[in-house]
Structure 1
Amino acid sequence: MMKIVKHHLESIEGIATYPMISLLIFFVFFTLLFWWVFTTSKERIKELEEMPLDDQHQKPFDQ
C-alpha cells in the first residue's frame, strides 16, 4: 500500500513545495498569535475573560 502511495506522490510535479507552504503557514500563524498575546493590554484580556459571564453579551436561546 505504501509503495503505491509513495509512487503516486513522487509522480506529482512540485510536491515538495506543499510541506514547505504548510510549515510557513503554521509558523506565521503562531508568530502572529504570540505577538497578539504579548501586545494585548491586560484590560482587554480581562474584558474577554469576563465575556461569557456577562449578561449583556449573551443572546437568548429562543429566537
Structure 2
Amino acid sequence: MLKFIKHHMDTIAGIGIYPVIAFVLFLTIFMAVLWWVQTVDKRHLDRMNRLPLSDH
C-alpha cells in the first residue's frame, strides 16, 4: 500500500514543497502556543480552571 502511494506521489511535479510547508506551519503554531502559555495571565488560567466546577 505504501509503495502504491509513494509511486503516485513521486509522479506529481512539485510535491516536495508540501512537507516543508507542513513543517513550517506546525513549527509556527507550536511556537505561538508556547509563547501564549508563557505570557498568559495566571489569574485568567485560574479562572478558567475553576470554571467547570462553578455553578455559573
TM-score normalised per structure 2 = 0.86
1: CA distance between counterparts of 2:49 and 2:14?
A: 45
2: CA distance between counterparts of 1:42 and 1:5?
A: 47
Report the CA distance between 1:8 and its aligned residue: 1.0
Report the CA distance between 1:25 and its aligned residue: 1.1
1: CA distance between counterparts of 2:49 and 2:6?
A: 47
2: CA distance between counterparts of 1:54 and 1:15?
A: 51
Aligned to 1:22: 22
Percent sequence identity over aligned pairs: 36
Aligned to 1:8: 8
Q: Please, what is the CA RMSD of the aligned residues? A: 1.1
Unaligned runs of 5+ in 1: 57-63
2: CA distance between counterparts of 1:41 and 1:5?
A: 47
Q: How many residues matched?
A: 55
Relative to its length, the structure with more helix (as a share) is: 2
